[in-house]
Structure 1
Amino acid sequence: MKVEQIYTKCLAQGAYYIFSEGEAAIIDPLRETQPYIEKLEQDRAKLKYIFETHFHADFVSGHLDLSEKTGASIIYGPTAQPDFEAIIAEDNQIFEIGKIKIKVLHTPGHTLESATYLLIDENGKESAIFSGDTLFLGDVGRPDLAQKATNLTQEELAGMLYDSLYNKIIPLPDDITVYPAHGAGSACGKNMQKETIDTLGNQKRTNYALNQPDKEHFVVAVLDGLTPPPKYFGMNVSMNKKGYKSFHEVIKESYRALSPEQFENLATTESIVILDTREANVFKDGFIPNSINIGLKGSFAPWVGSILVNVQTPILLVCDKDTEREAITRLSRVGFDNVWGFLEDGIQSWKEAGKDLDKINRITAEEFAEEFTPDAVVVDVRKPSEYATEHVEGAYLKPLSDFEEWVKTVDKDKPFYIHCAGGYRSMIAASILKYNGITDFKEVDGGFGQIKKTKVPTTDFVCPSKL
């Protein structure tokens, strides 16, 4: 028996490959299927089942493409109603892969169809759970995402999640391995650990949600501090439930090199977005006017979803050379398939064509400290939890996830500073400001991490666990 976690850091997502005696199963696959096909070929294995823990909101799964290529059956938990052929399992139903078994545990709460898959090894021992978004390490799945589809309140869903965890998961042996669908950085939870694998016994000891005295306290604890989910989540759920264009077709249609003239002509199209995927320190020194910067070397896809929202948005790409396919792939993971092409040879070709460039006024933390006065307007674009832990005295909290709404109210004649934790998110914010015609600001390189090393006054540190 072999169990392999395939972790994609930029999505904080875990898919799983399970192999036994020439047969295999894959749990929660990503959209690009070739890595799974290669594993099957290496093991000379037949893919028998594709298990989905639920209809994912934060990424588009590869279940349909993978099933078409391999003939494997797609399996969902009870109550799932996909618009394509799939096995809708019953609670406690068992599926065999080689000499091992997978038992379906219906664990509603995050969504109504949510299932946890219990692995029973060759010796009949319950050895692992693939918990999807039901149980994370340090947290549990947020119970507010399925409200619209179910006509249930988040309190009612949280109560269902309590029953699932306390009746189905906690009674399992402590030595069982927990394989969750997500880790730290995912918007599907609020308090996840950086580790991606743990024992159930350790989670019983350390996970706040598994240590509540009763359902009432559990509901309060789980709902406390939830921020609004990214607005693209509903569109990804729809794609996972109804179907989508094949990944191969997306690459074929999107991988199109454009000359500066072709790029410029297309850029005038209404609603099109110029998405510059270069690093912040490069972007600041010269970019095509009205570009949005979301660096590929970061949480690229989730931020694209949060900022652009509509997966149908037409996109023109500006990339570092030889990263164009990666950008298209990572966009497709969150359903943004409408890429019209990329600037051939990147920003260099734009410069050589003598076309206009814009810049961001980025300053160092030391320069910010020299300019800082008690009257300075400082905008902190981090998450509320980061801001609550420690921030520049007098700074305004304007989280990047809600930035577009705030931008509409900005006084364009009043200068200000913006920063995040390290510079990635504040450069996204800076590009959004420029896109909206706001120019009288300075963005702080290195963010709060560097600011707190200077003389700029900050609030007292508060341990996040005490907030």
Structure 2
Amino acid sequence: MQIDIIETTGLGDRSYLVSDSGVGVVIDPQRDIDRVLALTEKRGVRIALVLETHLHNDYLTGGLELSGRVGADYVVPAGDSVAYERVPAADGDVLEAGPMRLRVLHTPGHTHHHVSYVLADADGAVQAVFTGGSMLYGSTGRTDLVGPEHTDELTHAQYRSVRRLADELPGGTPVFPTHGFGSFCSATPTSGDSSTVGDQAAVNPALTQDEQSFVDELIAGLTAIPAWYSHMGPGNAAGPAPVDLSAPRPVDPAELAGRLAAGEWVIDLRTRTAFAAGHLPGALNFELAIANFVTYVGWLVPWGAPLTLIGETEEQVAEARRELVRIGIDRLAGAAVGTPEDLTAGEQPVSYPVSDFAGLAAAVDADPALVVIDARRTDERAGGGVRGSRHIPIHELTDRIDEVPDGDVWVYCGSGYRAAIAASLLARTGRRPVLVDGGYGDPDTGAAAAGLHDASAIR
């Protein structure tokens, strides 16, 4: 029996292909199903079942299209209301695929109808459990995505679900979650790349705390929900359209200039330092090379707004397109390929400075009234920030841009990635940003090392 992991690092998720004797089972496939199809061809297997642990909140599934393409049964939790034919998975059901048996366990918490799948061989020996957004590595799936009125109920349910998994499965059972590798579907950060049920008994909060302590701690630690999440559940219930990975329509410099002048969302995919050194006026920097790309495009770009990409190569644009279709950003307005110098239509590229926390410390010492923006989330700011800085989380910046004075403004975050997005947004409005490119908590070069960390700067 072979279990293959299909990583989607941009969303912090994993899908799985389980195969035995030429038969395959796919669990929680992402929308770009060509990766799954290529893997099944490599393994020489026929997909018999496509399973969903839940209606996902952080991506559009490829399960409906995949099952139709290969003629497999499509299995979705029985309690979920969907607009397509499926095999309902209810607690206690056993699904068969060649010599494999998958027992359904109702494990509510991440959603009301969430299920896990216990994999056994033909002799009934348990081989693995696929836990979706239930038991994660050192954490659990968050419980506030269905709606705030359900959070308390679902958090109690999550505790009991994880306990059920631990009680009913052998300690040596390998755990294969869908979320938890940087996904915002995780209630708290996860740890490790593999684990067993027995391992989790020692580290998972649902297994080391009493129920009320777990509930109180999980709810207190919930962070902001990415904006695009509100579109994923309904999209998965309705059934996503077949994926389209074709190249966006080419945009020439004159058309690109018009879109920039109109204030449309034109995203430059280059590294933040390359962008800062020279970019088209009005372009915004969402660095593709970092795993957070799709998270922050989905979070910041208004849903359905025209979106144009600028890439250094066609391959870079294709990679960005793949990332975006996973969350349902299907209809791009177009794409341009080349350097800023190649794509200018009269206006020269512009730039802004890049510094670090040591440079920021020197600037603050020279001008205590310096405007400094902290673009981190509220939970990060709770641990303190740069003294004298103003806290405007990146996902709030477009709505709060008027709070930023005109003129020079330094901006930082936890790593430099979100600060780069913020700097480009500020530059588009005519302000003069300085990007602080570095890790806030880095022991050698971060804020504390530069003498800037203020534990009381929480507002």
Q: Describe the SS at the equivalent of 1:408.
A: helix
Q: Describe the SS at the equivalent of 2:64.
A: helix
Who is 1:183 aligned against?
A: 180
Q: How many pairs are equivalent?
A: 449
Following TM superposition, by how much is the alpha carbon of 1:32 offset from its aligned partner in structure 2, in angstroms?
1.1
Who is 2:431 aligned against?
A: 439
User: Take 2:260 and 2:381, find their aligned partners in 1: how far apart are those partners?
Assistant: 37
Q: Describe the SS at the equivalent of 1:118.
A: strand
Residues 104-115 of structure 1: matches in 2 within 5 Å? 104-115=104-115
Residues 231-242 of structure 1: matches in 2 within 5 Å? 231-242=227-238
Contact 1:182 1:196 in 2 (8 A): no
Who is 1:86 aligned against?
A: 86
Contact 2:340 2:349 in 1 (8 A): no
TM-score by length of 2: 0.91
TM-score by length of 1: 0.90
Q: Does 1:167 align with 2:164?
A: yes
Identify if the C-alpha distance between structure 1 residues 16 and 455 changes in structure 2 by more than 3 Å, giving closer, same or farther.
closer
Query: Which letter does structure 1 place at the counterpart of 2:386?
Result: V
Following TM superposition, by how much is the alpha carbon of 1:416 offset from its aligned partner in structure 2, in angstroms?
3.2
Contact 1:372 1:456 in 2 (8 A): no
Runs of 4+ in 1 over 6 A off after TM superposition: none
User: Take 1:39 and 1:433, find their aligned partners in 2: how far apart are those partners?
Assistant: 44
Identify if the C-alpha distance between structure 1 residues 21 and 157 changes in structure 2 by more than 3 Å, giving closer, same or farther.
same
Q: Does 1:398 align with 2:395?
A: no
User: Take 2:198 and 2:8, find their aligned partners in 1: how far apart are those partners?
Assistant: 25
Which of 257, 267, 271 is residue 275 of structure 1 equivalent to? 267
Following TM superposition, by how much is the alpha carbon of 1:94 offset from its aligned partner in structure 2, in angstroms?
0.6
Contact 1:267 1:316 in 2 (8 A): no
Following TM superposition, by how much is the alpha carbon of 1:262 offset from its aligned partner in structure 2, in angstroms?
3.1
User: Take 1:458 and 1:64, find their aligned partners in 2: how far apart are those partners?
Assistant: 49
Following TM superposition, by how much is the alpha carbon of 1:378 offset from its aligned partner in structure 2, in angstroms?
2.4
Following TM superposition, by how much is the alpha carbon of 1:210 offset from its aligned partner in structure 2, in angstroms?
1.9
Q: Describe the SS at the equivalent of 2:10.
A: helix
Who is 1:213 aligned against?
A: 210
User: Take 2:437 and 2:413, find their aligned partners in 1: how far apart are those partners?
Assistant: 9
User: Take 1:320 and 1:146, find their aligned partners in 2: how far apart are those partners?
Assistant: 39
Structure 1 stretch 80-89 or stretch 393-402: which is displaced more? Answer: 393-402
User: Take 1:420 and 1:204, find their aligned partners in 2: how far apart are those partners?
Assistant: 35
Contact 1:24 1:45 in 2 (8 A): yes
Which of 243, 250, 258 is residue 251 of structure 2 equivalent to? 258
User: Take 1:3 and 1:185, find their aligned partners in 2: how far apart are those partners?
Assistant: 21
Following TM superposition, by how much is the alpha carbon of 1:346 offset from its aligned partner in structure 2, in angstroms?
4.5
Following TM superposition, by how much is the alpha carbon of 1:260 offset from its aligned partner in structure 2, in angstroms?
1.0
User: Take 1:135 and 1:397, find their aligned partners in 2: how far apart are those partners?
Assistant: 33
Q: Describe the SS at the equivalent of 2:168.
A: coil
Identify if the C-alpha distance between structure 1 residues 336 and 192 changes in structure 2 by more than 3 Å, giving closer, same or farther.
same
Following TM superposition, by how much is the alpha carbon of 1:304 offset from its aligned partner in structure 2, in angstroms?
0.8
Q: Does 1:38 align with 2:34?
A: no
Q: Does 1:457 align with 2:449?
A: no
Q: Describe the SS at the equivalent of 1:39.
A: helix
User: Take 1:380 and 1:82, find their aligned partners in 2: how far apart are those partners?
Assistant: 42
User: Take 2:260 and 2:392, find their aligned partners in 1: how far apart are those partners?
Assistant: 29
Uncovered stretches (5+) of structure 1, i.e. residues with no partner:
462-467
Q: Does 1:340 align with 2:333?
A: yes
Residues 112-131 of structure 1: matches in 2 within 5 Å? 112-131=112-131
Who is 1:195 aligned against?
A: 192
Contact 2:427 2:433 in 1 (8 A): no
Which of 374, 385, 390 is residue 380 of structure 1 equivalent to? 374
User: Take 2:362 and 2:96, find their aligned partners in 1: how far apart are those partners?
Assistant: 67
Query: Which letter does structure 1 place at the counterpart of 2:355?
Result: I
Contact 2:341 2:349 in 1 (8 A): no
Identify if the C-alpha distance between structure 1 residues 189 and 309 changes in structure 2 by more than 3 Å, giving closer, same or farther.
farther
Identify if the C-alpha distance between structure 1 residues 365 and 212 changes in structure 2 by more than 3 Å, giving closer, same or farther.
closer
Uncovered stretches (5+) of structure 2, i.e. residues with no partner:
none
Query: Which letter does structure 2 place at the counterpart of 1:203?
Result: Q
Following TM superposition, by how much is the alpha carbon of 1:121 offset from its aligned partner in structure 2, in angstroms?
2.3
RMSD between aligned alpha carbons? 2.2
